[in-house]
A and B are shown apart, each in its own frame.
Chain A
Amino acid sequence: MTDLVNGNTALPPISPAPTSHNGVARADYATIGGWIAEDAHVLDLGCGDGALLAYLAATRGARGYGVEIDDAGVLACIGSGINVIQSDLERGLAGFDDAAFDVVVLSQTLQAMRRIEPIVGEMLRVGREAIVTFPNFGHWSHRLQILRGRMPVSSSLPYQWYDTPNIHLCTVADFDAFLAERGYPVLDRVVLARGRAVRFAPNLTGELAIYRFRE
C-alpha cells in the first residue's frame, strides 16, 4: 500500500507497477492507479507506448485515450490496442470537450513542455481532476551536483544539459507554489524515492512527485 504525504484517501490494493516499454519500472503507475476510480474515463497526455493506460485498464477497468506526438509511441499504442490520438500537446487539447474526462494524466511530460500554464489549464478544462508527475529537481543529489558547479544528471534526470528534452524542471516546493498561486486544491500528493513514498523532507529526498489536483 502506498503512503500518502498529505492525502487521506483510503487506497485500494494495487498490483505491482509494471515495467514499461523501455524496461524501466514506472513507480508512479501504482500511485496513479490508486487515484483512479473503477471504470473511470481517462485521458493520458504524452502516453508514450500506452503502458499506463494498459495498466489502468487492467487494474481499474479504466478506459479512455492516450495523446502522443511521437510516431513510435502511436504505433506501439495501436499494436497494444490502446486508443491513441496523435497530436501535439503544445497545440492544446482542442479535440476534447470540457469536462469530458474523469481524470487527465500528464505523466513525466510536464518538464519537457514549452508552455506549462496553458497545458495545466487545458487539463483542468477537459478533466474533472488532473494528475501530474514530474522528476523532483529539488532532490539532494541534484542540489549537490549544482553546488559542485555542474548540471544534475541522475536516474530521474538521465540527460546531459545539451541533450535533455527537459526544459521546465521544477521542485516539489515550486509545484506546490504553482498550484497554490492559482488556487488549485491539491487532492493528493505522493513523492517517491526508489519507488517508495517518502514522508520526510520530500523536496529533498523525493525523486518523483505525483500530484492530484482540481480546479
Chain B
Amino acid sequence: MPSFSDTTAAADPAIADSRSVGPVLPQTAHFDVPLPLACGRTLPQYDLVYETYGTLDAARANAVLICHALNASHHVAGFYADDPKDIGWWDNMVGPGKPLDTERFFVVGVNNLGSCFGSTGPLSTNPATGRPWGSDFPIATVEDWVDAQAQLADRLGIRQWAAVMGGSLGGMQALDWAIRYPSRIRNSLVIAAAPNLSAENIAFNEIARQAIMTDPEYHDGDFETHGVKPRRGLRVARMIGHITYLSDEQMEAKFGRQLREGLKFSFAPEFQIESYLRHQGEKFAEYFDANTYLRVTKALDYFDPATRENGDLALALAPATCKLLVVSFTTDWRFPASRSREIVRALVRKRRDVSYAEIAAPHGHDAFLLDNAQYHAVVRAWFERVAADIGVRAVFPEPSPA
C-alpha cells in the first residue's frame, strides 16, 4: 500500500463523507421453508442477500426496510472496503444524519428473489438439477418478493417495521406491505411509484424484453449453458429504459444536440446522447443478467393490487392501517404524479392517514435517487415523526440543514 493511501482514501467521496455508514458487508439468509409463488410454483429453498445499517433497538421497533427497484440491490448505503467506489444506491438518503438516519433507525436493504446480485435467481443453482436455474427460474411477483421479505423480517426478529420505503418498483413493494401485512408495518413510503403500469409502461417493458429475447445469444434464456450472454439485447433494453428515467428537459439541458466531433455521415455515435446511452447500455450489459431483467419487468407489469378487488383500488388499499407518505416528481413521465395521486385518492376515500408531496424536480423518474432539498426534507421530517412515534432518540445531535 503506498504511503499516501490515507490521502487517496480521503479523496474518495464515500470515505470522505462523514455521513456515510462506512464500509458494509452483505449477509446471506438461507431459507429451507418452501415459498409458494403467485405463478403456482414453489421455491423449495432460497437465499436472500441483505445489508443492515445502524442498530436494532432492544424493542426491535426501529427497523426500516428499503425495497429496491428494477436494477438495484441490497447495497443501499455505505461502500465495500475492497471497492470504495461501490457506493450504495440510496447513500444520499440513508446514513448518519441523513433523511433516514442510521443513528436512530436499523435499516435493512434486501436483494429480491430472481435478482442477479446474490439472492436466489436465474444465476443460482437449481437444487433439483444441479445446474443454473436459467430460463426455468419462475417469474416472481411483487407479492412474492414481499412474502420473502417477511420471512427475512422473521429471521431478524422484526415483528413490525417502523417503516418500509421504496422508490419506483420499490414503492410498489412498500405499498404491498401496507396492504398485505398491515400489522407488520407502521409507515409506508411510496415514492415515484404507481398503482399499476399503464399500457405505455408495459409497452416500454415489452420492447426491452424483445430486445433481449431476439438477441441471437439469448438461446431461449439458456445462454449460460452456451457460455454467452445476450449483451446486445441488454444494452438496447437499458438504453430504452434509461430514456424513460430521464426527462426531456433534463436530456436537453445535459446533452441537447451536442456532437462529439461533428457530423461524419456515419452510424458511429455522433451526438453526445448517443454515446451516453451506448455507454450506459455497455455498463449495464456487463453487470446485469438478462433473465433477471425479463422477470423483473414482468413483476412490474403484473403489479396491480386493484385487480384483487375488481379494479377498485380504494377497496384494495382498505386493509392498510399504517401511515403512508406518497411522493412524486413533477417531471417523472415513467410514473407521473397523476399515478401517485390515484394512490392518494384511494387512500383518502378510505380515510387512511396519508400525506402526499409533489416534488418540483427536473430529473424525471430518476429524481427519487437524486439530491433534492424539499424531497429530502420531507423524508427527514417524516422519519422525525416515526422516531417520535416509536420513542427513538438521536444518538448524535441533528446536523444543521444544508
Contacts and interface: CB of A to CB of B under 8 A. Distances in A.
**Chains A and B form a bound pair:** yes
Given A41-B351, A79-B385, A81-B385, A74 B357 contact: yes
Contacts of B381: 75, 78-79
A178 B209 CA distance: 59
Interface in B345-373: 345, 348-349, 351, 353-358, 360
Interface string A6-27: 0000000000000000000000
A84 interface: yes
A105 B344 CA distance: 20
Nearest to B386: A81
Given A41-B351, A74-B357, A75-B374, A95 B384 contact: no
A79 B351 contact: no
Interface in A55-73: 63, 65, 71
A184 interface: no
A171 B137 CA distance: 71
A42 to B, nearest CB: 11
A78 B348 contact: no
Nearest to B389: A81
Q: Chain B contact residues: over half helix, strand or loop, or mixed?
A: helix
Q: Chain A contact residues: over half helix, strand or loop, or mixed?
A: mixed
B351 A78 contact: no
B152 interface: no
Given A78-B385, A85-B355, A86-B358, A95 B348 contact: yes
Contact of A83 (B345, B349, B353, B384): B353
A65 B348 CA distance: 8
A100 interface: yes
A78 B354 CA distance: 10
A96 interface: yes
A80 to B, nearest CB: 8
B81 interface: no
A163 interface: no
B377 A95 contact: no
Nearest to A88: B358
Contacts of A181: none
Contacts of B378: 74-75, 78
Given A74-B357, A87-B358, A95 B341 contact: yes
A70 B240 CA distance: 35
B110 interface: no
Contact of A78 (B345, B349, B355, B358): B355
Contact of A84 (B355, B374, B377): B355
Interface in B319-350: 325, 341, 344-345, 348-349
Contacts of B351: 41, 63
A95 to B, nearest CB: 5
Give the residue among A63, A85, A95, A100 with the most B Cβ atoms within 10 A. A85
Contact of B374 (A71, A81, A95): A71
A100 B350 CA distance: 10
Given A75-B377, A78-B378, A78-B385, A84 B349 contact: no
Give the residue among A79, A83, A96, A97 with the most B Cβ atoms within 10 A. A83
Contacts of B341: 87, 95
A209 interface: no
B181 interface: no
Nearest to B377: A75
A79 B384 contact: yes
Interface string B381-396: 1101100100000000
Contacts of A86: 356-358
A77 interface: yes
Nearest to A76: B381
A9 B294 CA distance: 65
Contacts of B377: 75
A74 to B, nearest CB: 6
A75 B357 CA distance: 8
25 contacts: A41-B351, A65-B348, A74-B355, A74-B378, A75-B381, A77-B355, A78-B357, A78-B381, A78-B385, A79-B381, A79-B384, A79-B385, A83-B355, A84-B355, A85-B344, A85-B348, A85-B354, A85-B355, A86-B357, A87-B356, A87-B358, A95-B341, A95-B345, A96-B345, A100-B348
Interface of B: 325, 341, 344-345, 348-349, 351, 353-358, 360, 374, 377-378, 381-382, 384-385, 388
5 nearest A-B pairs in the assembled complex, by CB-CB distance: A79-B381, A78-B381, A85-B356, A86-B358, A95-B345
Given A79-B385, A85-B355, A97-B349, 17 more contacts: A65-B354, A71-B360, A71-B374, A74-B357, A74-B378, A75-B377, A75-B381, A78-B325, A78-B378, A78-B381, A78-B385, A82-B355, A83-B353, A86-B356, A87-B341, A95-B341, A96-B348
